[in-house]
Homo-oligomer: A and B are copies of this chain.
């Protein structure tokens, strides 16, 4: 990973590819790379769909190596949804493959001079860009099918569906999984709209003939990796809960805790939760053929294996096993208790290229605004289909919850920095509320997953219903997360490294063994802090203030059942999160 490929889409005579060394960006990976390039090269007040914005796709520091869990990828830009800096993170195959091809980042720049649509091919021979208007308004599934027919069944794709082509603020970027399906997404913040604005439909990655990246200190690396994997296997969350039921193991847990946002955040407990839980899903999958409830990784090198496959009633592949956030967003948040409906919505979102969290929250707001009744699955499916069809209503919904709320005149809109809140009510899980409010990303659970100590008893215990201790919890997690997001490691390793000192040390040794340096815990903390600082600085220059680090008023005004709590962390406390 010693080079960066830049594709200028705005040059006269067509796109121009240039491949250069890392320069100032040497040593950066994943989120550190995307946030460094965006904060250094993108004017904070530029239009997100304009020539000055850049779309940066960066494998992690360890991607392409033998390190377990190292196949995550970061996508960065100025977000069309939030107006601030964005890093959206995805699994799938492209990260490892780009790593092996030696690319530390793909940077799409400039603004096309017309509406020609392009595909990019990256392989061992270099980078090729080809106009192909036959791809226009294809869904991700058809598109990937076409690329597979054209380039073979070993390539990976990075692509946008109809939503990204329409430049909608809820558009995602899809990354193909091990089964060559477009099921893993850099979902948040409208990154797909920026790819659409650059006129790039798909990046096909082919690592044929490439080898895995070699560690600087192979013995240390191999040993540490073994210990690291063993640590993941022995932790109850990464060794048992996630492999058994996937991320949807959380439905019963959050519902039990009274922190499961129901019907547009109007209650913390959903009467239909047991019908859509991970346990119910596993039972159902076991009766429907395919591999049943057996799980697998979203990328090669994953040892947690929390992904699965969802088959329809008649035994045909329908979608990946919907993740907890998706099951919640399209399920409880919309009053829908039918896994088949939820899986159809998941499939539509993946196909159109939409963030499932944003879309579920948006449908919830649309239901509150009277476009459909809570619980009406058929209506929800029709609403999401509008986005793919490009109707005016579809364009509203595809623009996300904040725009939908404004257009429909709805007051209760669960967003921070215009990005929809994920699947944990901040009143009953106050630590995650601090993260939602303060992360530079807009409401994002992955930016500092305080559900750990609030609900799961991981990394300590902090009472989820009270404000005490949440600032420190969120701050430490946000710092650690930013660093993990730089490595290309899956965030789920956090469960084990928070609880098990030897697993954390093993992680440090994996990184040191790979890089040939001697990383300390303090180095990791400093890396996390420096990433957050870049991101906060960008947002400040884009006009963000501490007034943007707030939850919508209804979380402090309306008490949440069943615990009858409001969000209790004060504004003054929120302003302390980044005092480090």
Contacts and interface: CB of A to CB of B under 8 A. Distances in A.
Interface stretch (A272-280, A393-401, A493-501): A393-401
A139 interface: no
A169 B395 contact: no
The quantity of this chain's copies bound in the complex is 2
A188 interface: no
A47 interface: yes
Nearest to A413: B47
B543 A547 contact: yes
Contact of A409 (B166, B391, B543): B166
A47 B409 contact: no
A16 B409 CA distance: 24
A411 interface: yes
Contacts of A80: 406
Contacts of A570: none
A235 B422 CA distance: 62
B403 A407 contact: yes
Nearest to A171: B409
A197 interface: yes
Contacts of A548: 543
Interface residues of A, number: 38
A407 B193 CA distance: 11
B552 A541 contact: no
A239 to B, nearest CB: 44
Interface string A39-64: 00001111101101000000000000
A548 B43 CA distance: 15
Interface string A376-407: 00000000000000011101100100010011
A542 interface: yes
A167 interface: yes
A197 B47 CA distance: 31
A399 B406 contact: yes
Contacts of A411: 47, 49-50, 197
A199 to B, nearest CB: 12
Contacts of A399: 406-407
Nearest to A166: B409
A201 interface: no
A553 interface: yes
Contact of A552 (B47, B166, B196): B47
A396 B407 contact: yes
Contacts of A196: 409
A166 B167 CA distance: 26
Contacts of A43: 553
Contacts of A408: 395
A548 B44 CA distance: 12
Determine which residue in A43, A399, A542 has the highest number of CB atoms from chain B within 10 A of its CB, and name it: A399
A548 B548 CA distance: 14
A164 to B, nearest CB: 10
A168 B396 CA distance: 14
Contacts of A198: none
A393 B406 CA distance: 14
Determine which residue in A80, A169, A395 has the highest number of CB atoms from chain B within 10 A of its CB, and name it: A395
A269 interface: no
Interface string A191-206: 0010011000000000
A545 interface: yes
Contacts of A50: 411, 553
Interface of A: 43-47, 49-50, 52, 80, 166-169, 193, 196-197, 391-393, 395-396, 399, 403, 406-409, 411, 541-545, 547-548, 550, 552-553
15 contacts: A43-B553, A45-B553, A47-B553, A50-B411, A80-B406, A197-B409, A392-B392, A395-B396, A396-B396, A396-B407, A399-B407, A403-B407, A542-B547, A543-B547, A545-B545
